[in-house]
Chain A
Amino acid sequence: MMKRLLHLSFAWFIAVLFASAASAQTRTVSGRVTSSEDGSPLPGVTVQVKGTNTGTQTDADGKFSLSAPENGTLVFRFVGLKTLEIAVGGRSSIDVKMETDEKVLSEVVVTGYGALEKREITGSIASVKGDVIQNLPMQSFDRALQGRAAGVLVQAANGVPGGAVSVRIRGVGSISAGNEPLYIVDGVVMNNSSTTNFSSSNPLAFLNPNDIESIEVLKDAAAASIYGAQAGNGVVLVTTKKGRAGKTEFNLNYYYGSVEPIRYMNVLNTQQWIQVRKEAIRNQNPALTEAQALSAALTGIRLAGNLTPEQIAALPTYDWQRASYRQGAINNIELSARGGDDKTTFALSGSYNQQDANVIAVDFKRATGRMAVQHQVNNKLRFETSINLSNIKQRGPFGSPNGGSFLGSPTFSSPLILPINPIYNEDGSYFGTPQTGGLAGILNQNVIMNAEYNTIQNITRQVVGNAKVVWNPFKELTVSSFYGLDYREIKGEYYADPRTADGFGVRGRLTSESEYNATFTANPIVINFAKNIGSDHKLNTTLATEYVQEVFEGISQQVTTFPTSQFRTANTGATPISTGGFWTSYRRGGVVGSVQYGLKNRYFVNAVIRRDGSSRFGNQNRFGTFGSVSAAWLLTEEAFLKDQFEWLDEIKLRGSYGSTGNSQIGNFDSRGLFGGGANYGNDAGIAPSSLNNPTLRWERQINSEVGLDLAFFNRRLTSTIGYFNKESRDLLLSQPVPWTSGFSSITNNVGRLYNRGIEFELNTVNIDAGGFKWSTSFNITKLENKVTRLADGDTVLPGNPSVRIGHPLGAIFTSQYAGVNPATGRPMWYDVNGNLTYLPLNPTDFRVLGTTLSTLFGGFTNTFSYKGLELTVFFQYDFGRKQFNNQNSFLMENGGRLFNSLVDIYERRWTTPGQITDVPRPINGNAEVRGASHLSGSRTLEDASYIRLKQATLAYNLPQDLLRKVKINRARVYAQAINLLTWTKWTGFDPEFLNLGAGNNGVVPQSRNYTFGVEIGF
C-alpha cells in the first residue's frame, strides 16, 4: 500500500508542479479508456484537465466526457496504472489505452514504515520479487530465498517439507542470543520462534509463497536501524499481493510432482557384516580362536554358532533403506482473484499444498485463505486490511525433534539395521515386533512398523491479520495507524503405539500438547512528512511508534495404558503420567524518527534514530538508543557524467554507519527467580532457576558499510559491490559461572565479535535479439567471522570449546586423526607436540580444525527465453563449512557394535601388517586397550561445502492470439526440477542440514523434486 501511496503523491506532485492558468477556448472532449493488456474498459479512471480542478471519472464502459481547453492537456490517473498526459490538440474524441505501472513498481523499494524510489536509497537492501520464487515446491519463502540475495545465508535444517530453515543476514552476530532476522509480513511482526515439538516446523510456512509480491532484506544499519532494537540480525520485509483496480483477474495455478531421495548409503550385506564382526571380536580378544569368534558373531545376531560357510553364504540380505526412503508426491492448487475500482481494491486467494518427504510417514499439508482489501474513503482517508488464515498439518519424522528416540527412526536406523533382519514375515506381517524380541542388533525396532503405527503430528492454525487507517490531512502529511496480530494455535501429539517398542512396555503412550501464541503489533502513530522545496530539495521525514507484545502459553499431558491400538485419545488411556504447562510473555515499545534529504537528485542523506525498551532487560537498562547515518551520491547525475556516455546509466556510491540491537534472549533472563516443578515424590518443590542481573542491557551491532551500485548499457548490466563490517558488542552471552555457585550461567553483556564481508551482485542481459533473450544473475558473499573478546580475559568460553578468541564461532576443537599404524592397525592421533598418540587428551591435544560456519556462498541464475519458451537454471553454493558426520560415524564402526557399516570402510579396513590405510582394524567396542575410540577426533569431520543445481525450470507461455479465442489472458505450462545435481565431498546423505544437537543423526535429508504445472489467468 505504501507504493500506491507514493504513486498517488507523485501524481499529485506532477499535477501541482505543472499547474498553469486555464486557456480561453474550451470544447467537449469524450472518449474511452481501455486496458492496454486486454483491451477491456477501465471504469473509475480520473480524467482531469491539467492545472485545473475540472475533472471527471470514466463510467462502467470506460467512457468519459468533459469540457477542456483546445490547447489543454488531459491527465488520466488510476491506481496501479501509469499516469498518462494527452494533449487535447483540438480533438473532441480521445481514446486512451492505459498500461500497468510496472516500471514504478519495480523501482520502488519497501523500506519499513514507507517506501522509497530505488535511486534514493542510501542503505543496503536486497530485493527479491515474488515472481522469482513463484511455484517453487517449497512451503516457506525463507527456503526459497536461498542463493537469491547477497549476504543472506539460508540453510535448511533438514528436508522435512515445511521444516525449519536458518536465515543469517551478514553472518552469525551473537553467541547466546538468537541470530534470527526480524520478519515483518505486511507490517505485522512475526513471532519467529519455532514452537512445535513433534515435527520440524517453520513459523513462516503459514504464508503461501505464491501470495508474495516482494521480499526486501534490510541488511545494514541504514536500512535496518529504523527497526532499531530488533534489527541486529537484519530485517526481512514481506509484502503480499494486493488488489489492483480494473477488471477482476482470476488466476488458477496447479502443479503436481514427485519427491525422491538424492542418495542411498552403500552398506554391507549379511556375509560381509558377519566377517567384519568376527574380526572385531577376535581383535579385541585374541585369546579366541577363529571359530569361537565366528560363533560369537553369529550368536550375537541370534544365529546358530555352528553355521557352515555354505549356510552363511546362503543367508539373505534385506535393504531397509529402500523401504524407508521413498518416492513421494507433491500437489499444489491455488485460485486467486484480484480487482477493484478506483476506490476499492481487493485480492482474494485460496490454496492447498501437500508435499511428502522422501521418507515414509513424513509430510506436510496446508490450506490457506487470504483476503486483502483497500478502500479510499475520500482523497484524505484510506483503509487497508488483510487477513491470512492457514491450517497446517505435518506428520513428523520419528525421532526428531521430540518424536521419540532416534534409534527408532527410519532415517537414522535404516542404513544401520543389520541386514540379516527381514522387514516383513512371509505372511506380510512385520518382522521383529516387540513381542518377538525385536530385530537382532542394537537397532532392534522395526522402523517401518514404527512409521506406520505411530502418530507423530502437528497441527498449526494461524491467523495473521492487520488493519490500517491512513489519513492525508494535506498533501505533504500522512498519518497512519496500524494494528496487526499473529496468532497461532499449535496442537502436537505423539502416540507411541502399543505394538511398537516405545509403547509396548506401557501399552501405548500418548503425549500431547496444545500451545497458544499471540504476537500483537501496533504502530499507533506513524507520521510521514514529505515535501519538495523547489526542484533541488527533497525532504522526507517519518516518526513512528511501535508496541509489540507476545504471550505464549501451553499445556501438555502424557497418558499410558490403552486398551488396544485403536484407542488413541487421552481419555481412553488408563494411567495419567504427567501434565505440564507454561506461560511466558514479553513486551517492547519504541519510537523512531528518520529524515531523508535529497539534494539536486544526486546527493542523498538519511538519518535514523530510535529508542526502544524491552521487558526482557533489567529495570536499570531497559531502554536503548539506536541510530544510523547514511549517504549516497549519484555520480551519474553530475554534469561531468550526465549524458556524457550513452552506455552509462548509473553510478551510485553509498556509505552507512549505525547501530542496531538484539534482544533475542529468554523473556525473564535478567531476573533472579525460583521456579516450580522441582518436585520430589508427591511433594511440590521449588528451586532457584536463574541469577539476578538488573543491569542486563541490549546487545549492539555496530554496522558500517560502503557500496557501489552500477548500471550500464541501458541497464542491461547492473551490479552492486559492497563491503561491510558488523561488530557485535555487549554480547548477550550466556556466561558460564562456576557450578559451585549453584548456577551454571548468567545472561550478561560480555564479549565482542565481528562479521566482515564482501558482497557482489551482477545482473546482465547477455543476448536480447530476434526474440531470444539470455540473462544472468550472479551473487557471491565472502564472510569472515571472528570472536575478539570474552569475559575476564578468557580465551575460550568455559564449557564451550567452539567459542574461542581469534577464531570464528563454531570453531571445531578436536584431536587430529593421524591414520592407522601400519604395523598394528591401531588408529592414531596427533598430540600437542605433533607426535603420534593412541590416546589424545582433551583439551591438551586438541586443536581448532575449522569452523561450522560457511565462509563463501551465493547463487547463479541463467534464464533463456525464446518467444514463449523459457528456461531457468539456478545454481546455489555454500562453502567453507565443516561438520562432523555423526550418522556416518555409526556407519564406520565396522563391527565394533551391532550396527551395519559402509562398504567403502569395510573394503579399506586394515587387515595385514604393513598395510597403509586410514581405516583401522575392526575392534569390538570401537576402542583398543588404552586407546581412544577409533571414531573420535577429526576422523568423522568432513567438508560440508556444496554446489547444487537447485532449480531448473522449463516453461512455455501459450501464445496470446490462441488464448484470446478461449477468453484466457495468460496460460503457462512448465516442468521443474529441484536439487537435480549436487557436487560435494560430504559422504553422508546430504551436506545441507543444521546441527540442532544430534548432528545429522536421523535428519531427513534434502530431496530431489520434479514438478509439472499449469498457470491460467482469465
Chain B
Amino acid sequence: MKKLSLSIKVLAITSTIFFASCSNLLNVDPRQSIDSATALTTQEALEAAVSGAYDYLQALRMYGRDFIALPEALSDNGRATNKSGRLQAEYQNQPNAHFSAGTWQLSYAAINQINLILDNAPKVNMPAATRNNIEGQALFLRALIYHNLMRVYAYDPGAIVTQNSRGGVPLALTPILGSDQIEKLSRAPIDAVYAQIYKDLDDAIVKLATTPNSRAPFYATRAAAEALYSRVALYRRDYANVVRFADAALSRGVGTFVTNAQYVASWRAAIHPESIFELQYVTAENLGVNEALQTTYTTLLAVGDRSRTGGFGDLVPTADLLNIMQAEGNDVRRQLYELGTAGRGTAEIECTKFMGKGGQPNLDNIPVIRVSEVILNRAEAYAMQNNDALALADLNRIRNRAGLPSVTLSGAALLEEILKQRRIELAFEGDRWFTLKRLGRDIVKAPPVQTVPFIDFRILAPIPVREIQANPNLQQNFGY
C-alpha cells in the first residue's frame, strides 16, 4: 500500500505541474495576419488597407470581368459564341444568369473595409493631407461600389417599375470586426442610397482637393470623384449636376481626349490615355486563361495574328452592333473589331480592346471612367435639358473624332444619336445594359433569343439566395 500511495503522489504532482504549464504552452500567434482590433492604428496600415480596398475591385466578379463583360452579354451588344459555354446563359437572359453572388459579396466586403478605414483614420496621428487622401479615396470607392450595387440590384431613379421595386440595397456604414456587431440590414430606399452616394462624393471631392494628379489614373483623384459624380447624377436624372461635375472633371487635366489618329493606339497602350480612373493589374494579378477580358472577348493572342489561338472568344459583337458601326461609314472605332481564329470553332469578328496590354496574355488594365464617357454624360444631360447647341457640340466632338461628319439634330433624334454614339464608343466596356436600364428601355435581342421587356423581372439581378436565407430582413428582388 505504501507503493500505491507513492504512485498516487507521483501521479498527482506530475499532472498538476504539466497541467499548470499547459496554459502557456498553448499560445500560438499567427505570423501572416495581425489582430484586427489593433490592425488599423498606424498610417502605414491605413494606407495598406486602402490598397486592400482597391484590390476588391480587381476581382473577376467585379471589374475583372463582370462589370465590363456582363452589361454587354445581357444587353444587345454581345453575343455568346458557346465556345467555352461561358456567358451563354447571360446572353440568353436566362433567369438567374446575371450578376452573381460574388459581386454582392465582394462589394460589401470592400464596403466594410472602407468603413473600417473611415472609422480609424481620424484616430491615427498623421499629416492632414495624408488623412484627407486616405479618406477621400475611401469615400470615392464607397460611392463607386454603392452605385454599382444600385445599378445591378435596384431600379434607377426615374425608371422604376413600381409594382416590382423592392427598394435600393442595404446601406452598411458602420465598421464590423466581431460577430456581435453584425446587423441584419434591410434594403434602404433607392433615394436614400443615392443621397449617401452624393454625400460620399461631395466629401471625397473636398478631401481629394489636395491629392496630386500624379496618382491618377490608378488611384482616386478629385477628377475621378467628379467624373463619377457626373455618371451618378445622370442615373439620378440630375442633369445640372451632370454638367457641373463633367465640366469640373474635364478641367482637372486627368485623362486627355485622344485624336482620331491616336484612337486605335490608345487601346494598344498599357494605360489608356483617356482614363480618369483605371484599375491597374500587375503580373501577379493576371486573371487567367478562363475568364479574363482578353479570353472572354477574343481568340487572338495578338492583333492581326490569326495563326495562334489564345483565349475562348466567348463574347463577340452582335450583328446589330457591327451593322450600326458599318452603316456610319469610315468609323475608326470599327478598327477595334477584327476576325478571330478558327481555333475554338467558327471564326468570329471579335473585340480587341483588351489584348494583354500589360505584356502578358490576359493582363490588361481596366478603364473604369474615361474622358469620352464624361463628354457623353454631359451631351446627354444637355439634350435632356433641351440645350441642343451644347449637346451637339459634345456629340460632334465624339463623332468627328471617330471620323464621322458633324450632325445637326434636335429633340428625340438628338438624344438617340447621343445614345448611339455612347453605345459604339463604350461598347465592350460595361455600359450598355446599365444605360438601357436607366432609360427604362426594353433589351432588344436578335432571335433565337427573345427581347427582354423593361418590366421583366430579369432586369434586376437576383440577390444571392444564401443572403436571403442568412438575413430574413432582406427582401429578394421580384420574380426570383
**A interface residue numbers (CB < 8 A to B):** 284-285, 287, 296, 299-302, 405, 434-435, 437-438, 440-442, 444, 474, 476-477, 479, 502, 504-506, 524-525, 527, 529, 531, 543, 545, 547, 560, 575, 577-578, 581-589, 591, 593, 611, 613-615, 622, 667-668, 671-693, 736-744, 746, 748, 794, 796, 798-800, 839, 841-843, 897-898, 924-925, 927, 929-930, 932-933
Contacts and interface: CB of A to CB of B under 8 A. Distances in A.
Contacts of A583: 30-32
Contacts of B360: 505-506, 560, 575
B108 A741 contact: yes
A932 B89 CA distance: 9
A945 B405 CA distance: 71
Contact of A529 (B7, B85, B111): B7
B23 A613 contact: yes
A685 B33 contact: no
Contact of A285 (B26, B55, B301, B448): B448
A613 B11 CA distance: 19
Interface in B1-30: 3-4, 7, 10-11, 14-15, 18-19, 22-23, 25-28, 30
B27 to A, nearest CB: 6
A585 B31 CA distance: 9
Nearest to B286: A577
Contacts of B323: none
B346 interface: yes
Interface of B: 3-4, 7, 10-11, 14-15, 18-19, 22-23, 25-28, 30-37, 39-40, 45, 47-56, 58, 80, 82-85, 88-89, 92, 94-96, 101, 104-105, 108-109, 111-113, 115-116, 170, 172, 176-179, 181-185, 218, 280-286, 289-290, 301, 307-310, 341-346, 360-361, 447-450, 464-467, 469-471, 474, 480
5 contacts: A504-B308, A672-B37, A674-B35, A679-B284, A685-B50
Nearest to A739: B105
Nearest to A586: B28
A444 B116 CA distance: 47
Contacts of A680: 51-52, 54-55, 58, 280
Contacts of B88: 925, 927
B28 A737 contact: no
Contacts of A441: 345
Nearest to A687: B52
Q: Which 5 A-B pairs have the closest CB atoms?
A: A742-B112, A799-B466, A685-B51, A685-B52, A678-B52
A751 to B, nearest CB: 14
Nearest to B294: A505
A692 B33 contact: no
Contact of A688 (B15, B177, B308): B177
Given A591-B15, A684-B51, A924 B28 contact: no
Contacts of A674: 33-36, 39-40, 45, 49
A613 B467 contact: no
Contacts of B111: 742
Given A613-B23, A686-B34, 6 more contacts: A300-B346, A437-B341, A674-B40, A675-B32, A688-B39, A739-B108
Nearest to A547: B25
Interface hub of A586, A674, A924 (most chain B Cβ within 10 A): A674
A615 B177 contact: no
B14 A529 contact: no
A849 to B, nearest CB: 18
Given A692-B36, A925-B88, A435 B18 contact: no
Contacts of B27: 587, 615
B33 A736 contact: no
A687 B113 contact: yes
Contacts, number: 302
A799 B469 contact: yes
Contacts of A476: 3-4, 7
Nearest to B280: A681
Nearest to B362: A505
A738 B105 CA distance: 9
B134 to A, nearest CB: 13
A897 B471 contact: no
Contacts of A739: 101, 104-105, 108-109, 464, 467, 470
Nearest to A933: B89
A506 B361 contact: yes
A741 B23 contact: no
A692 B178 contact: yes
A302 B342 contact: yes
B108 A683 contact: no
Interface hub of A444, A502, A673 (most chain B Cβ within 10 A): A673
A76 to B, nearest CB: 29
Contacts of B3: 474, 476-477
B177 to A, nearest CB: 5
B32 A527 contact: no
Given A742-B172, A744-B105, A585 B85 contact: no
Contacts of B108: 739-742
B478 to A, nearest CB: 13
A740 to B, nearest CB: 5
Given A300-B346, A438-B343, A741-B112, A444 B448 contact: no
A997 to B, nearest CB: 15
A675 B31 CA distance: 9
Nearest to A546: B18
Interface hub of B52, B94, B181, B449 (most chain A Cβ within 10 A): B52
A929 B280 contact: no
B290 A405 contact: yes
A512 B281 CA distance: 23
A301 B286 CA distance: 30
Contacts of B26: 587-589, 613-615, 622
A746 B284 CA distance: 29
Nearest to B182: A741
A476 B1 CA distance: 11
B424 to A, nearest CB: 27
A587 to B, nearest CB: 5
A549 to B, nearest CB: 8
Contacts of B449: 929
A668 B35 CA distance: 11
A687 B82 contact: no
B36 A673 contact: yes
A924 B14 CA distance: 74
A613 B7 CA distance: 25
B51 A683 contact: yes
Interface hub of A525, A682, A740 (most chain B Cβ within 10 A): A740
A287 B51 CA distance: 53
Given A444-B309, A681-B282, A927-B94, A740 B54 contact: no
A543 B181 CA distance: 44
Contacts of B346: 296, 299-300
B179 A799 contact: no
A25 to B, nearest CB: 36
A673 B360 CA distance: 34
B85 A897 contact: yes
B168 to A, nearest CB: 13
A483 to B, nearest CB: 15
Given A505-B310, A799-B465, A843-B465, A405 B289 contact: yes
Nearest to B91: A925
Nearest to B169: A740
B36 A688 contact: yes
B94 A740 contact: no
A300 B345 contact: yes
A474 B3 CA distance: 8
Given A527-B11, A738-B474, A743-B112, A575 B283 contact: yes
Nearest to B175: A742
Contacts of B467: 738-740, 798
Contacts of B290: 405
Nearest to A528: B7
Contacts of A684: 48, 51
Given A740-B172, A798-B466, A676 B307 contact: no
